[in-house]
């Protein structure tokens, strides 16, 4: 996944179907700005990072307790985003190295979900 230019007013949300919790969201406003929000858990289900709401996207690299890459958003919007999303129970929902993405059970992707 790349963040490049998207239509204003659109978003992509990664949702845990078990709890209906949005774990990761990218959104684009009418001016072309990109925003990011996240709740990131590790393999034990512990909360590792919380964006505290929707923020303008910037370079982010978040590692779990065992130095496992949970989210890597590069500065350049044309580079690939890498992520590994667990839910609060420690269940792996999806993983992407930026080029190849694996989606496991209990993940739903939604457009226009309000954070």
Q: Of 93, 94, 92, 91, which is closest to residue 82 (Cα–Cα)?
A: 94
CA distances from 3 to 45, 79, 105 (A): 27, 8, 25
Please say if the pLDDT value at position 23 is more than 80. yes
- The whole-model pTM stands at 0.89
34 within 8 A of 57, measured Cβ to Cβ: yes
Q: Give the residue extent of every domain in the chain.
A: 11-110
Q: Where are the beta strands (DSSP E) in 17-68?
A: 21-28, 34-41, 47-50, 55-56, 60-63
Mean pLDDT of 59-63: 96
Over the stretch 65-77, which tens digit does the pLDDT of each residue have? 889 999 999 988 7
Least confident of 1-10, 49-58, 63-72: 1-10
């Amino acid at each position: 996944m790349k963040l490049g230019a998207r239509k204003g007013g659109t978003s992509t949300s990664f949702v845990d179907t078990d709890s209906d919790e949005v774990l990761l969201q990218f959104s684009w406003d009418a001016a072309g700005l990109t925003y990011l929000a996240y709740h990131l858990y590790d393999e034990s289900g512990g909360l590792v990072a919380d964006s505290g709401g929707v923020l303008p996207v910037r370079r982010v690299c978040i590692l779990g307790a065992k130095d496992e890459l949970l989210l890597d958003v590069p500065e350049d919007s044309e580079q690939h985003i890498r992520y590994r999303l667990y839910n609060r129970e420690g269940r792996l929902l999806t993983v992407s190295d930026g080029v190849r993405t694996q989606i496991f059970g209990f993940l739903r992707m939604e457009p226009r979900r309000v954070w």
